Amino acid sequence: MLIYNSQNHRKQEFEPLEPGKVRMYVCGPTVYDQIHIGNARTFLSFDVIRRYLQYKGYEVTFAQNLTDVDDKIINRANEQGRSAAEVAEEFGTAFIEQMHRFGILDPDIRPRATREIEAMQEMIGVLIEKGNAYVAPNGDVYFSVRSDHDYGVLSGRELDQMRAGERVEVNDMKRDPFDFALWKAAKPGEPSWPSPWGEGRPGWHTECCAMIHRYLGTPIDIHGGGADLVFPHHENETAQAMCAWGEPLAKTWMHTGMLRVDGEKMSKSLGNFYTLKEVLDKYPADAVRLLMLQTHYRAPLDFSFERLEGSVGTLGRLASCVKNLRWAAGNAPLDGELNELDRSLSAATKEAEAEFVAQMDDDFNTAGAMAAIFGLVGSANRYLAEAAGNASTAVTLRTADALSELCGVLGIDLSRESGEGELPAELVGLAREHASYGGDDPASAADALLAARQEARASKNWATADAIRDGIAVLGLVVEDTPAGARLRAKRD
Ligand code: AMP
Ligand code: ZN
């Protein structure tokens, strides 16, 4: 399996530090507001990466922090006349809620900065002792970038060619403008903790580094985040680890491309953002997922609501194909010998599975993996149309299972997309009332509706009969009236 390591700009064969196990960390959000869909893209990318590593059989330990003390949180709290802890609590909870709605798996470990002060102070102490950090006159503690000969190794920058002020805070407590704060002396009204250097709070770069060391041990296999974190955040993280413990922080660094609107990075500061919450209030989570995964995680992703509408349709086609396959399986005659048509769908299924793995093995190419899935959807739809009522149960079930499983690896749960919820309520009621209704799945609903429709026709109640036919169509099926009676078959696209 190849993974692109942003440290050396190359795809490398992935070999975990400990056979069969992967330890990974992804920088979490600063919890001062709802996250936007750009943030969500980064978290989604690593969710799929983690799921795929698990699919490959690795035992993955995944940690992600919540930055719950930070200037942005303090500013928001001051604006709203609340405490920073209240703001962080509200948006920490909101973040976890939206991650669940989006189908993102919980991390195994979710440390919060405010509960890890001791681990951070310990690391800062080591850095001071080794001469890599100094206490400024005001009680701030800074990391001295000049003390680390490897500084710049991750982002490929040379200190002397960098310009201060761009992405680095300038202040007169620092000996060098690129030095960064490990510990910030408390200002009045700010949350603070006692320390050997006076009351204060930790710096952002210090947080992730100390938590990784504490919970996963350094170096870890994979460290991830958005591409905007390479410098200075990840550069500073790795510099601290190298200086404190003599080892790099991570073996492989992975960075996601930025989600953009109208060619510009989505960000809170530009004001061009949509929150994940507002998007999930209007669109199915899996449609958003599908849209995002159609672009490789390292490439920029151009977001638009037109594209998202398109993904809703694509998701529907995917779900109805699987539904139709399961339907055909349930309504097929007893399986005999497989014919040529059956064998070709069977072969297409195996090929799609192999192609999916090949694409994902190539630096998690979800776009290629989805193309494999859609290729199989095309084959399955052609099969259903050609096999008509003569489909093979074994082959259709196998293909339906393969599609569900591959989608599952991408975190797309097709069972969520196919339920009786899609059926108009009055038809659900009608189906439920019918004696033949066997259970809460679309198959039983449609069977019961078919029987109800026959009864409506027998009593010349044409309006009800037609309404039922339309309801069955919602399930992705059509009623075919044959001389031998009505039967259901998958709708041809
Ligand atoms: P923050 O809370 O700003 O630290 O952001 C949380 C995560 O979202 C980080 O990994 C960022 O790199 C990432 N991120 C921020 N903006 C975008 C964007 N427009 N597209 C993709 N990822 C982003
Ligand atoms: Zn971090």
User: 3-state SS of 454-486?
Assistant: HHHHHCCCHHHHHHHHHHHHHCCEEEEEECCEE
Distance of CA 175 to the CA centre of its chain: 41
- Provide the residue-wise pLDDT of the chain in tens; the chain has 493 residues: 999 999 999 999 999 999 999 999 999 999 999 999 999 999 999 999 999 999 999 999 999 999 999 999 999 999 999 999 999 999 999 999 999 999 999 999 999 999 999 999 999 999 999 999 999 999 999 999 999 999 998 998 888 877 655 667 778 899 998 999 999 999 998 999 999 999 999 999 999 999 999 999 999 999 999 999 999 999 999 999 999 999 999 999 999 999 999 999 999 989 999 999 999 999 999 999 999 999 999 999 999 999 999 999 999 999 999 988 988 887 777 777 899 999 999 999 999 999 999 999 999 999 999 999 999 999 999 999 998 778 999 999 999 999 999 999 999 998 776 543 456 666 777 777 777 776 656 667 777 888 888 888 888 888 888 888 877 877 767 777 776 677 777 665 4
Residues facing 453 on adjacent strands: none
For the chain, first and last CA: distance in Å?
36
Q: Is 258 in the pocket of ligand 1 (CB under 6 A)?
A: yes
| Range 190-197, long-range pairs (CB < 8 A, 24+ positions) | 190/74, 190/84, 191/69, 191/74, 191/83, 191/84, 191/85, 191/114, 193/117, 195/121, 196/121, 196/125, 197/124, 197/135, 197/139, 197/141
**Which one-letter amino acid corresponds to residue 362?**
D
Tell me if 254 CB under 6 Å of ligand 1. Answer: no
pLDDT of residue 405: 97
In 10 A of CB 482, how many CB atoms? 8
Locate the ligand 1 atom nearest the alpha carbon of residue 273 and give its number.
19
Q: Ligand 1 within 6 A of 41 CB?
A: yes
Ligand 1 contacts CB of residue 37 (under 6 A): no
For residue 232, whether the previous peptide bond is cis, meaning omega lies within 30 degrees of 0, is yes
Q: In what side-by-side order are the strands of the sheet with 141-143?
A: 133-135, 141-143, 180-185, 200-202
Atom of ligand 1 nearest to the CA of 42: 22
CA–CA distance, 267 with 36 (Å, rounded to integer): 8
In b/e form, how buried is each residue of 171-183, taking b as 16+ CB within 10 angstroms? eebbeebbbbbbb
Q: How far is the CA of 39 from the centre of ligand 1 (A)?
A: 4
Residues in the chain: 493
Spatial neighbors of 119 by CB under 8 A, at least 6 apart, are 210, 211, 213, 214
Q: Is 266 touching ligand 1 by the criterion CB < 6 Å?
A: yes
Residue 298 beta carbon below 6 angstroms from any ligand 1 atom: no
- Measured by CA distance, the residue closest to atom 8 of ligand 1 is 39
What angle is formed at CA 94 by the lines to CA 89 and CA 98, rounded to 5 degrees? 155
Other Cβ atoms less than 10 A from the Cβ of 483: the count is: 4
Please say whether the beta carbons of 231 and 167 come within 8 A: yes
Instruction: Please state the atom number of ligand 1 nearest to the C-alpha of residue 260.
Output: 19
| Cβ(92) – ligand 1 distance below 6 Å | no
Q: Among the atoms of ligand 1, which is closest to the Cα of residue 229?
A: 12
Report the separation in Å between the CA atom of 4 and the middle of ligand 1, taken as the mean of its atom positions: 19
Q: How far is CA 304 from CA 138, 260, 262, 272, in A?
A: 48, 9, 8, 12
- For residue 75 the two structure tokens come to 């500013």
Contact 207, 116 (CB under 8 A): yes
CA of 234 to the centre of ligand 2 (A): 6
Distance 41 CA to ligand 1 centre (A): 8
Structure confidence at residue 493 (pLDDT): 47
Contacts 24+ apart (CB under 8 A), 476-481: 476/320, 476/323, 476/324, 476/327, 476/418, 477/324, 477/327, 477/446, 479/450, 479/453
For 348, the token pair is: 């297409």
Q: Given this model, what pLDDT does residue 419 score? A: 47
Q: What residue ranges define each of the domains in the chain, with the CATH number in brackets?
A: 2-282 (3.40.50.620), 322-417 (1.10.730), 426-490 (no CATH)
Q: Best substitution site from 91, 208, 228 to test ligand 1's pocket, by max atoms within 8 Å of Cβ? A: 228
Residue nearest to atom 14 of ligand 1 (CA): 39
Q: What is the pLDDT of residue 417?
A: 65
**Ligand 1 atom 11: the closest Cα is on which residue?**
226
Among 42, 46, 72, 275, name the best residue to mutate to test ligand 1's pocket (greatest count of ligand atoms within 8 A of Cβ): 42
Q: Quick check: CB of 38 below 6 Å from ligand 1?
A: yes
Q: Probe ligand 1: pick from 26, 36, 39, max atoms within 8 Å of CB? A: 39
